[in-house]
Structure 1
Amino acid sequence: MAAVWDFADFDDHEHVHMFTDRASGLKAVVAVHSSHMGPAAGGARFWHYAHKADAITDALRLSRGMSYKNAMAGLPLGGGKAVILADANGRKSPEMLRAFGRAVQSLGGQYVTAEDVGISLPDMVTIGQETRFVCGLPVENGAAGGDPGPFTALGTYLGIKAAIQQYFGYDRAKDVRVAVQGVGSVGGNVARRLAAEGAILTLADANVDRAKALADELGAEVADAQAILTQDADVLSPNALGAVLNVNSIDQLRVPIVAGAANNQLATPEDGQRLHDRGIIFAPDYVINAGGIINVGLEYLGQGSREEVEARIGQIPERLVEIWTESQASGRPASVVADHMAQAMIGRA
């Protein structure tokens, strides 16, 4: 396997750690991209990778995204990410989670962990038994913190409405056709918010039963998880895993707007240019999906109430409009404009 410096997604990361705990079976990667703005914060992902190198790539890409996300959200936090490697059966134990907590604690606060794909609120409580560098823990009503999913969904919903306003000139979701890929914790809540406003939904998920159940609840249609990318709609909202926008899928898109919560939606940087060339409005993922880290970040910093969290999430549409306005003025893709803004904030212009 190549040295970490040779990975295509290594971006002058400050440090990358590999952890193993034989007793519990833990294998984990923690990548710290930047601490320019503060301690590196980002969730821990529990996932099965066909190749261990893919886990390192994921950690590198996701941690860089967290640097950009936290900076663009105005949080005094750097960017980091953890990946816990699951076996093919997805076995996860309290012993493994506590071992991961000890690994985080050993970094002395350079990395602050939280939930991501495959990690739940109870899992965070277990991890928190071994480290104080953790957020996304249960909190009292009215306080920042807890499950970040609903807050990510809120910001994504507001971002979708901002994109509708940008393209169609009206700020409403009623009768807007939205194709939602991924209806888990975040995508499901996005779909519910849109349905409540009268949007016409088509849903897709790798878990077909979950998609059908939500479609029955909301009066929506169901599509195949891949076919959703070619759905004739007004908005495509990717809310599952990343790299869904590539040279092939972009050519087949039948929407004027792409706005969703999935991390790293662009398979390559060039795919942002491909969207721009097609005249598609793209909401950079680390801007639109910042609601979750705003919630748990303020929890960790001890700086916010639920009211403050929602007020900051309410600023997401303003940041998107700023990006789209600059994109139109400069002729550069929205993805490039957002990257340059974030890079300037973390001292990497």
Structure 2
Amino acid sequence: MQITKPVKIGTYAEDDVVFLLKDLSDIKLEDSTANREHKIQSGGHYSESLPIEYQPPKEYVELFWKTLQEYKQKVALCIGIVAEQIFQAKGENTILVSLARAGTPVGILIKRYIEFRYGISLPHYSISIIRDRGFDKNAIHYIRKTHPKGKIQFVDGWTGKGAISIELTKACKEFEQKYGFTLDDSLAVIADPGYCTRLFGTREDFLIPSACLNSTVSGLVSRTVLNEQYIGEDDFHGAKFYNDLIAEDVSNQFIDVIVNEFTNIADEADQIALQRNHEEIEAPFLGMEDVKKIQAEFAVKTTNYIKPGVGETTRVLLRRVPWKILIRDISSPFVQHILMLAEEKGVEVVEYPELNYLCCGIIKSVKEENK
């Protein structure tokens, strides 16, 4: 097998992350949200095209900065807790492998924390994982060949109902069956409101500021693409570099703001991580209970249309066709950006106090509408 070499893509320093992605910047992959939704719901796969990158109004960007200032220490503490857990378990041989793209800034922050705390610079790669198609095997082969003694730790931003956790476990099993190599399928995240992993900063459903924006807080890299027209057998999965958005890019500023808080939270993070090591932490995927209840109550065709949690609800509003937004408490500071987006897009907001998550986005069934 020919091993592809990584190319430089995005606005992060290569010391922070190496993207194992094929650069598809010159190819027109974008389609309107309505067209994409219709294709996806008619059997096409979401990874074959890209949504047009939503550029938020000034008020929304201001809200991002406001929430970042308010919750920077909370995010830093969650990063510290999960970084301490990873390092205590895997030590200097850890290879951080973040799932593009929400996992990328989180992987960078974990890497920076371990460097700040232990003086060790861990390798960090960002790879593609796609629902129903698994992770990029060529990327895993590259990492294994480059770091034969390394212990891979997968990293993402947050959990919703656990679809990516399930996909990761499945991909790791298939990889082991095919290549005889066992991968640790644990997923390290900032927030785990879905109770999908044992490796988390918090299980509170709160607003991670990087969930507010798209590529402009993820190194100007698009969502990942797996389309056979452009991705060959030996290629990494693809992505675009939105060079035209350089003026709006806040990716490195976001990292710096959180990193500056590490000195304030390191001792507390260490204590919480040590305590977690002595606890029996379960991952019962509680989020699916909420999802099934919502599916029955609102007669939603498939659980794929139900996206619980602040991060996932934000994504529904930014790049899908939303039908309704359910919110447990509309006065929560973590949902103000969601209320702003819902109003801008004319989406109904339903107060739904019996939700375990803070909020939930329901995608519109566009096929029904077109009949």
* Both proteins in one fold, TM over 0.5: no
TM bucket, shorter chain: 0.3 to 0.5
Q: Give the TM-score, by structure 1 length.
A: 0.34
Q: Give the TM-score, by structure 2 length.
A: 0.33
